[in-house]
Structure 1
Amino acid sequence: MNGVHDMGGMHGFGAVEPEPEGTVFHHNWEGRAHALNLASPTRANIDAGRHQRELIPPAEYLAMSYYEKWIRGLSELLVQRGLVTPEELATGRPNPTAPRGTPRFTASEVPGIMTARGSYVRVIEAQPAFQPGDGVRARNINPEGHTRLPRYARGKGGEVVRWHGAHVFPDTNAHGLGEDPRHLYSVRFSARELFGEQAPAKASVFLDLWEPYLERA
């Protein structure tokens, strides 16, 4: 999906101001927003959550802070999946006639769950189409749905520097079409290939890109 969420390489939004090391949350509610997303039944599909945030109208998206977007996307997913009603969200009170759900996990289980490493790596029979050292070009695609191929790299040439194995494919997983794992590669692009002659001559950008995003150069 092309939209304001894909801002890489765009001008006019001001400089990126680094924050002091260790700054995680600016307000207490941001920590709660993070916790709600992790505790939500929708957490199992990170791609669906990302796509839901992409559906926020552009003017509203640009006016929101990072965790405001998280709360908006989570709220809409919870309603879509019948886990809460719009009235419950508006009032902050559960419907007394609604069936009581079973918590996903208890407080004592939280430390173990939060420190356990998850993985999107999968094993597939298909052999990788590319190897380190291969020249590739990012396909010039403009899907209406979710994709992790940034606009600024589309149609640009680079070199495969690493193969990461097969990983869940976001473009299908975000839309309930299955994991459809595909091979994932780290691809090096020169900064000038991506941004023109004004970019530093020796600078490079490394992108992790799924095989369907690439073609042989």
Structure 2
Amino acid sequence: MTRVHDMGGRFGDGPVRPDPEQAPVFAADWHARALAVTLAAGALGRWTLDESRHARECLSPADYTRFSYYEKWIAALADLLVAKGVLSRDDLTGHGGGGAHPLAGRRLAAENVARTLARGGPADRDAGPGPVFEAGQAVRALRPAANRLVEGGHTRLPAYAAGAQGYVLRCHGNHVLPDSNAHGLGEAPEPLYSVRFKAAQLWAAPEHPDDEVILDLWQSYLEPA
């Protein structure tokens, strides 16, 4: 993945400066509405969490860099709604037809929101291959960090870890593979590992070379070191 959103470990973007004061959960009223409409639209069942992540990644670099956090959410949601045939561009501009929507029966009712959020969307699965790596084993993240199923597609392997050697901390069992699920190719569950990397393996001049970064990586992202 070479898109602009993959910013982890990148130089030149300036330091991260956390707000010393407790920031509000939503800095503006419309931020809460953006979250609400995104969750409600997701409840329609027309796309997966991985597809929604990929939609945000597919925003043009110019839009991605100038949009605020929730502007990215809304822009990606609009793209998904049109791409999946839920709404038309005319609908989004207020010029669509009237009447009840065919998906109205799937709406997320207010009284069901808390229960739905508490249930979440577990991604662990019983199906899939068994683990080939064990705790303590040296592994290497594949280079380049890319989706091996879809050219330019979604992956959860960050670019800064590509080619780095780490050690398996634990296996979490089989989980849905985002590289497949984001593109309608099925869940394709496979083992998911926590892998620890020395900072010196990831960056040329780390401030604290012995610090460790722990990444959750799928089996197909790794090879024996």
TM bucket by the smaller chain? over 0.9
The aligned residue for residue 223 of structure 2 is: 215
Q: Decide whether aligned partners of structure 1 residues 115 and 207 sit closer, same or farther in structure 2, where only a CA change above 3 A counts.
A: same
Are 1:170 and 2:178 matched, yes or no?
A: yes
Are 1:159 and 2:189 matched, yes or no?
A: no
CA drift at 1:107:
1.9
CA drift at 1:21:
4.1
The aligned residue for residue 75 of structure 2 is: 72
The aligned residue for residue 11 of structure 2 is: 11
Counterpart pick for 1:205 among 213, 217, 220: 213
1:135 and 1:157 in contact (8 A); partners too:
yes
CA drift at 1:138:
0.0
The aligned residue for residue 147 of structure 1 is: 155
The aligned residue for residue 51 of structure 2 is: 48
Q: Quick one: distance in 2 between partners of 1:113 and 1:193?
A: 41
The aligned residue for residue 38 of structure 2 is: 37
The secondary structure found in structure 2 opposite 1:75 is: helix
CA drift at 1:54:
1.1
5+ residue gaps in structure 1?
Answer: none
CA drift at 1:14:
1.7
Alignment of 1:36-115 (within 5 A): 36-40=37-41, 41=44, 45-91=48-94, 95-96=97-98, 99-100=101-102, 101-115=104-118
The aligned residue for residue 27 of structure 1 is: 28
Q: Quick one: distance in 2 between partners of 1:99 and 1:25?
A: 30
Using the TM superposition, name which of 125-134 and 178-187 deviates more. 125-134
Identity, % of aligned positions: 44
Q: Quick one: distance in 1 between partners of 2:46 and 2:118?
A: 15
Q: Deviations over 1:107-134 (max 9, x none)?
A: 2222211222431000125220111100
Using the TM superposition, name which of 101-110 and 118-127 deviates more. 101-110
1:42 and 1:77 in contact (8 A); partners too:
no
The secondary structure found in structure 2 opposite 1:102 is: helix
Q: Decide whether aligned partners of structure 1 residues 125 and 152 sit closer, same or farther in structure 2, where only a CA change above 3 A counts.
A: closer
Q: Quick one: distance in 2 between partners of 1:191 and 1:56?
A: 31
Using the TM superposition, name which of 43-52 and 13-22 deviates more. 13-22
The secondary structure found in structure 1 opposite 2:71 is: helix
Q: Quick one: distance in 2 between partners of 1:23 and 1:128?
A: 42
Q: Quick one: distance in 2 between partners of 1:76 and 1:99?
A: 18
Q: Quick one: distance in 2 between partners of 1:16 and 1:203?
A: 18
Q: Deviations over 1:11-55 (max 9, x none)?
A: 121211213446321111111111111111257511101111111
Q: Decide whether aligned partners of structure 1 residues 35 and 97 sit closer, same or farther in structure 2, where only a CA change above 3 A counts.
A: closer
CA RMSD of aligned residues (A): 1.8
Q: Deviations over 1:145-180 (max 9, x none)?
A: 000000000001000001111100000000000000
The aligned residue for residue 137 of structure 1 is: 140
5+ residue gaps in structure 2?
Answer: none
